Amino acid sequence: MTSPTLGDNPFAAASTLPYGLPDFSAIHTEHFRPAFDAGLAQQRAEWEAIATDPQAPTLANTLEALEVSGRLLARALTVFYTLVSSAGTDEIREIEAEYAPKLSEHRDALYLDRRIFARLESLTDAATQAGPETDWLLRTHLKNFVRAGIRLDPEQQDRLRALNGELTSLETEFSQRVVRGMEAAAVTVTDPAQLDGLAPDAVSALAQAATDRDAEGYLITLQLPTPQAVVGQSPNRDLRRRVFEASTGRGTGTDPDSDTRRVILDLARKRAERARLLGYAHHAAYVAEDGTAATTEAVNEMLGRLAGPAVRNARAEAGDLQSALAADEPGAELAPWDWSLYADRVRQQRFAFDEGELRPYLELERVVTDGVFFAANAIYGLEFTERTDLTGYADGVRVFEVREADGTALGLFVADYYAREGKRGGAWMHNLVDQSDLLGLPPVVVNNLNVTRPAAGEPTLLTWDEVITAFHEFGHALHGLFSRVRYPSLSGTNVPRDFVEYPSQVNEMWAWHPTVLANFARHHRTSEPLDAATLDQLRASQAYGEGFATTEYLAAALLDQAWHQITPEEVPDDVAGVEAFEAAALERAGVAYPLVPPRYRSTYFNHTFGGGYDAGYYSYIWSEVLDADTVDWFAEEAAKDGDGGLNRAAGDTFRAKLLSRGHAQDPLQSYRDLRGRDAVIDPLLKRRGLGE
Ligand SMILES: [Zn+2]
């Protein structure tokens, strides 16, 4: 439906471009506020019409009407959040802050509407008769209403609304303080001799960072997680210690403006209070129920099983590192700021290759075309054609049309690989259009990376990590592109948080596949393939360092659970209690190993206190159980055909049983349909070297 009030606002009607790609060339910042206002009003009117419909409730006039409501708002928000993440400006951020509470209220308005809930409740028999996807949709909606507080009395609902608002503000405050903390903890170096041993381009980047802030000398800016690049590179031990201490000290009160401790305590207490109000033992139980884990007991059991072997392996790795350190600095005792530098040294000695020497063989265009797309063609038969007639939302964003082996159109893949000002860090996938048979929409999906743009005329050479990230994000893209469901809210990657990383992790396997790797790893100038011995060493080095990686991850995941498996009364009263709580939690979980601190300490754990992964940081390893078990499945299928694993039949099965199903049924049922049983943990233990 078009909105008469919006005039020529490009969000007023659905895009007429191929596949419904938004017309970015026509969209400007001033279009968002009017589109949001009209979109919020329109969806409220649609909900009111459902709630007051004089007709008896039917699937069409209630359940499907809810699914198709809010199209204008959805169109505007999808584009808006794309810009927030990938091309944000001050004005975009202002609009974001202005509308965050309005959107939270909007959501509450639906989920606290008893009239709509009553109509949905009356449809259970009709939904069962209509088939499994409709039945699942109805049950999902009913669950969402209950989890949002529909069964509470009006007074409790008022308290819930207030808590939701306060939590949203606290999460924003935490994130902002974390950003300030990263800036405040940047390390200044005045004597260039202290930077000896760093690569020349790294040193000039540090000088540039100082200039950018009108400072003298060199500035070492920090990344979000505990490990910092310079700590892994500098032979200057004192500098490593300074940067490490700056990193782990963030948010602890040395700088009052970025102290996050009070916010943490408020968040933990209010989340616990909300969980109690909704009838849960604690916030973690509330979160787990919405995932495939279902209970915190299952989460604790899984994390607990890994903790002991992970720390044991980290201790064994520490032995190697201690020897390497002693060779450089006789008598020195290994400290946490020595870890990643000496881990790299040991890796280089053991596997006889230097990551830096790989880079000329990892050119972006080849990695994408001859790697990511090549694998998708071999396994799923997909064909990719760049559509230079279609424009993205910023310079350098490319649009590809995706077709099936028989030429049938599938959807669009939008690739945004380069870093730019206003783009947030990291890598991610999102949808510009959710596939839906009900709305007749094909999928339009986006991948974002943060590859540094080379100087003009130079090739874009990737690190191995960036190659893996490109394959990972494309796994999410396939989950979106292959979606074949009726309802938009169940489409593609709209699955529980502890399931969504699974298809993307699976797709990483193809980067390591000998045929795929040999196809894309060619010298950017000579096209000469990487020699077989280096390829073998690269593959052999894959499993090295898992003790460290697993321990730092588990420590963070267990901290996240500890802060959310408590009652409001168990939250420390005083900010001084934050560090003590953290220490006790790590000790209790068996991961208190000072040489390997958590990947994020509480005071800068943005995943959990900035919102999004609160009580959900366990999801990554939870998904990896399914991933590792599926990699084994592909190997079993390949063994049947003897084709080395690039197996169309296996790809089509994985697509049909899993990737295409989105959230149209219990995702673990999709898994059982694929594997013929539940997932087992052994392949993960084996991969990470954590077996008994
Ligand atoms: Zn991912």
Q: Mean pLDDT in each 10-residue stretch from start to end of the chain (692 residues)?
A: 75 96 97 98 98 98 97 97 91 90 90 96 98 97 96 95 90 89 94 93 90 92 92 96 97 94 98 98 98 96 94 96 94 97 91 83 97 98 98 95 98 96 86 96 96 88 94 98 97 96 97 93 95 85 88 98 98 96 98 98 95 94 96 91 80 97 96 96 91 68
Residue 478 CA to ligand 1 centre (angstroms): 12
- The amino acid sitting at 204 is S
H/E stretch holding 449 reads: strand 444-451
Which listed residue (273, 317, 473, 552) is catalytic? 473
Residue 108 CA to ligand 1 centre (angstroms): 29
Residue 564 CA to ligand 1 centre (angstroms): 23
Alpha helix ranges (H) inside 490-576: 497-507, 509-512, 514-520, 532-540, 546-564
Residue 449 CA to ligand 1 centre (angstroms): 11
- Give me the residue label for tokens 């002693």: 326
Residue 611 CA to ligand 1 centre (angstroms): 17
Residue 183 CA to ligand 1 centre (angstroms): 27
Give pLDDT, residue 100.
86
Residue 476 CA to ligand 1 centre (angstroms): 7
Please, are residues 644 and 515 in contact by the beta-carbon 8 Å criterion? Answer: yes
Give 513's contacts (C-beta < 8 A, 6+ positions apart): 375, 644, 645, 646
Whole-structure pTM value: 0.93
Short-list 36, 45, 53, CA closest to 101: 36
Question: Quick check: is 473 catalytic?
Answer: yes
Residue 502 CA to ligand 1 centre (angstroms): 8
Q: Going by DSSP bridges, is the β-strand pair 444-451/409-418 parallel, antiparallel, or unpaired?
A: parallel
Three-state DSSP state, 361 = helix
Residue 71 region by backbone torsions, left for phi larger than 0, else alpha for psi between -120 and 50, else beta:
alpha
User: In angstroms, how far is CA 415 from the centroid of its own chain?
Assistant: 17
Short-list 542, 502, 546, CA closest to 675: 502
Residue 472 CA to ligand 1 centre (angstroms): 6
Residue 33 CA to ligand 1 centre (angstroms): 31
Angle 327-330-332 from CA coordinates, rounded to 5°: 105
* Residues near ion ligand 1 (Cβ under 5 Å): 501, 504
Residue 135 CA to ligand 1 centre (angstroms): 29
Please, are residues 224 and 178 in contact by the beta-carbon 8 Å criterion? Answer: yes
Give pLDDT, residue 692.
60
Three-state DSSP state, 220 = strand
Cα(532)–Cα(420) distance, integer angstroms: 36
User: In angstroms, how far is CA 378 from the centroid of its own chain?
Assistant: 27
Cα(512)–Cα(518) distance, integer angstroms: 9
Residue 471 CA to ligand 1 centre (angstroms): 10
CA distances from 112 to 60, 71, 123, 286, 612 (A): 21, 21, 18, 18, 22
Residue 5 CA to ligand 1 centre (angstroms): 39
Taking residue 290's Cβ as centre, other Cβ atoms within 10 Å add up to: 15
Residue 170 CA to ligand 1 centre (angstroms): 26
Q: What is the DSSP letter of 4?
A: G
Across-strand partners of 430?
446
Give pLDDT, residue 4.
57
Give pLDDT, residue 3.
56
Residue 299 CA to ligand 1 centre (angstroms): 20
Cα(611)–Cα(167) distance, integer angstroms: 9
Residue 504 CA to ligand 1 centre (angstroms): 6
Residue 574 CA to ligand 1 centre (angstroms): 36
Residue 626 CA to ligand 1 centre (angstroms): 14
Residue 661 CA to ligand 1 centre (angstroms): 18
Residue 373 CA to ligand 1 centre (angstroms): 18
Residue 2 CA to ligand 1 centre (angstroms): 35
Residue 482 CA to ligand 1 centre (angstroms): 17
Give pLDDT, residue 537.
86
